[in-house]
Amino acid sequence: MFDSRQRHSRENPESVELRISLVARVLFLGTAFLAGSAALTAFVLSMRSGANLDHVSGAVFTLANDLAHGLFYRPVYSPDIGYGGTRFQPLQFVLIASLIYCGISPIASGLMVNLAADILLVIASWRLLRREGISAAFACGWTLLLLASNSLRFALSDGRSDILATALTILGLQAIQDHEGRRSNWPVASIAFGLAFATKLTAIHGLIASVIWLFVRRERTQTVRVIMSTTAAILVVAVLTYVFSAGRIVELLRFGATGGAHLVDVMLGPAKMVWRLSQYDPAGLVFLSLACTVLLVRPHLSLLAVYFVVTAVMTAVIFGSPGIEINHLVDLHVASILLLASAVHQWAARQRDADVSSMLTVAASIAAFISLFPIADAFSAGRLTRSRPAEIDTLLASVPPAGGPILSEDPLVPIVAGESPYLMDAFMFRLFALRNEALERPLIDTLQRHGFRAVVLLSEPQDEWYTRFHFGRHAADAIAASYAPASQVGPYRIFVPRE
C-alpha cells in the first residue's frame, strides 16, 4: 500500500524506468506513439471538417451567439426569440462569444476555444506526470495515451466544454499535489477549481478529491483553506451568473438540472456507463479496468488514486441522467491514465514490484493498440472528413428562402444560415413540456399555422426518439401533421409545409 504522504521517488526517473523490462518499455513507447499519431491525425481531419460537431455543439454556439448580441442565457420561452434551455455553465460559451464579437463565425470561434482547451489539457497533464517523477519520455507516452480514447478524441473537436473543464481540474490538482512550500499554490488551486465549475456544472471531482486527500493526510488547516477559498470562487461564479442572467439561470436549472432522472435511472447509471464504454470506447474500458485493478491489488491514498475513485463514482451517477453521452467519459479516462502512469512509476521504484510494473505497462500497450480499431473504422467510413457545415450548406440550398424561421433539431442549421435558432435544445424542450404543457403550446401553434418555412429533424417524426428524448410526442405529431418530407441531406431530414 502506498503511503498517502509519499512523494515521488527521489531516484533519477530514467533509472527507475530501466527496471521495467526492455520489451515492455519498447512496446509501450511504440504503441503510445502509434496510437497518439493516429488520434492526432483523426483530430486534425475532424477539426478541419467539423465532423464531430452535433446538435449539442449547436446549443453551445447558440448561447455564445446570443451573448455576442447582448443576451446572457435565454428565458425558457420568449415570443421574440423562441425557446432557451440549457444546463451549460458559462465559461466556455463566454470565451466563444468574445471571438464572435470580434467578427469570427460561431463555428470557427467554438473550434478555436476547443483547440486552446485541448492544448491546455495536454500541457497540464504532462506537467502533472513530470511532477510525479515520471521521465520525459514516459510522460510523453502517457500523455499520448490520453488521446487513445474515443470519448476524449471526439471531445477534442466537438465545441463542448468537457476538455476545458478537465484541463482546469488537472491544473488545480497539480497545484494541490505540489502545495508544500508554495503558498501561492492555494489560490491557484481554488481559482482553477472555481473556473472548472464555471465551465461544467459537474466538474467538482478535483475539489472533492483534494479535500479528501488533504484530510487523510491530517492537513486540517489546508483542508479548510481549500474548502473556503474554492467555495468563495464558486459563489462568485454563481452570483455573477445569476445577476447577468437576471435570474434566468435559476429557472433553467429548476426545469432541467437533473435531465429528468429518477432513482431507478441513477441506480442503473454504473451499468449504463460500462455499456457505453463497451459499445463506443473499448480502449477506454480497458484503461478503466486496469486502473480499477491497480487499486484492488494495491489500495492506496495518493491524490491521483482518490481523484480516480471520486471521478469514477461521480461519472457512474451522472450516467443515471437521461441523455448523457460519451463526452462525460472524458474525466474518467484522464483519471484512469494518470493513475496508471503513477502506479507504473511507483511500482518500478520498488525493485521487488518491477515485474508487476512491466506487466501493467504491457497491458496499457495492448489497450493503446485496441484504440486504433475505432479510428481505422472512422477513417474507412469517411466520418472524419465528412463536413457538417458543408452538409448544412447543401441543406439550406433546398430550403424555401422565405416564410418564417427554420425550426431545427440541430441549432447549427440556423446558425450556418445566419439566423438565431428558434429552438436551442430539443432535449430540454421535452423536459419543459413534461413540467408544464403550456410551454409547448406556442411551438405547436406555430407549426399548425405553418409559421416555419422548414423543419429539419435528425430522424422521422414517428421515431421513438421523439417520445423519449427530443421534442416530445405532442410536438413530433404536430410536425408530422403539418409538414411533409421534402428531402434528406446527410443526417438531416427536411420537412416543408403541407399544401
Same domain flag for 351 and 443: no
- Is the pLDDT at 142 greater than 80, yes or no? yes
Phi and psi at residue 51, to the nearest 5°: -65, -30
- DSSP-based three-state secondary structure for 29: helix
Per DSSP, what are the bridge partners of residue 493? Answer: 457, 488
Strand (E) or helix (H) holding 362: helix 354-370
Average pLDDT of the chain? 90
Domain boundary pick from 381, 412, 446: 381
Condensed to tens digits (0 to 9), the pLDDT of residues 441-459 reads 999 999 999 999 999 999 9
Same domain flag for 377 and 396: no
- Helix, strand and coil content of the chain, in percent to the nearest 5, comes to 65, 5, 30
Residue 4 within any structural domain of the chain? no
- Please tell me the predicted confidence (pLDDT) of residue 186: 83
Residue 1 within any structural domain of the chain? no
Same domain flag for 377 and 405: no
Considering only residues 112 and 318, tell me which one the structure prediction assigns the higher pLDDT.
112
Residue 2 within any structural domain of the chain? no
Residue 325's alpha-carbon distances to 56, 198, 313, 329, 483, in angstroms, are 10, 20, 16, 8, 30
- Is the pLDDT at 323 greater than 80, yes or no? no
Residue 7 within any structural domain of the chain? no
Give the separation between CA 315 and CA 313, rounded to whole angstroms: 6
Task: Taking residues 342-365, report their average pLDDT.
Answer: 87
- Is the pLDDT at 3 greater than 70, yes or no? no
448, 478 contact by CB (below 8 A): yes
- Looking at the structure of the chain, the number of domains it has is 2
Same domain flag for 146 and 243: yes
200, 238 contact by CB (below 8 A): no
Give the separation between CA 283 and CA 150, rounded to whole angstroms: 8
Question: For the whole model, what pTM was predicted?
Answer: 0.92
- Please tell me the predicted confidence (pLDDT) of residue 7: 46
Same domain flag for 81 and 150: yes
- Is the pLDDT at 251 greater than 90, yes or no? no
Residues 6 or more apart from 391 whose CB is under 8 A from it? 489, 490, 491, 492
Residue 3 within any structural domain of the chain? no
Considering only residues 18 and 360, tell me which one the structure prediction assigns the higher pLDDT.
360
Same domain flag for 266 and 285: yes
Give residue for cell 514490484. 353
Confidence band (pLDDT; 50, 70, 90) for 300? confident
Same domain flag for 319 and 356: yes
Phi and psi at residue 488, to the nearest 5°: -140, 135
- Please tell me the predicted confidence (pLDDT) of residue 232: 95
Same domain flag for 223 and 258: yes
Per DSSP, what are the bridge partners of residue 407? Answer: 455
Domain boundary pick from 346, 381, 416: 381
Give the separation between CA 417 and CA 189, rounded to whole angstroms: 42
The region, left, alpha or beta by phi > 0 then psi within -120 to 50, assigned to residue 133 is left
Same domain flag for 205 and 349: yes
Domain boundary pick from 322, 354, 381: 381
Sheet order of strands, 454-457 included = 406-408, 454-457, 492-497, 483-489
- HSE at residue 307, side-chain half, CA atoms within 13 A, is 26
- DSSP-based three-state secondary structure for 141: helix
Condensed to tens digits (0 to 9), the pLDDT of residues 153-168 reads 999 999 999 999 999 9
Condensed to tens digits (0 to 9), the pLDDT of residues 386-405 reads 999 999 999 999 898 888 99
**Amino acid identity, position 315:** T
- Is the pLDDT at 315 greater than 90, yes or no? yes
Same domain flag for 104 and 241: yes
Burial label for 269, CB within 10 Å (0-12, 13-18, 19+), is buried
Neighbours of 123 (CB within 10 A): 14
Same domain flag for 437 and 461: yes
- Please tell me the predicted confidence (pLDDT) of residue 85: 80
Residue 134 within any structural domain of the chain? yes
Phi and psi at residue 196, to the nearest 5°: -60, -45
DSSP string for residues in 312-346: HHHHHHHTTSTT--GGGGHHHHHHHHHHHHHHHHH
Same domain flag for 393 and 372: no
Residue 182 within any structural domain of the chain? yes
Residue 342 within any structural domain of the chain? yes
- Is the pLDDT at 268 greater than 90, yes or no? no
- Measured at the CA of 312, the angle between CA 110 and CA 427, to 5 degrees, comes to 45
The whole domain housing 340 covers 13-381
Give residue for cell 409547448. 440
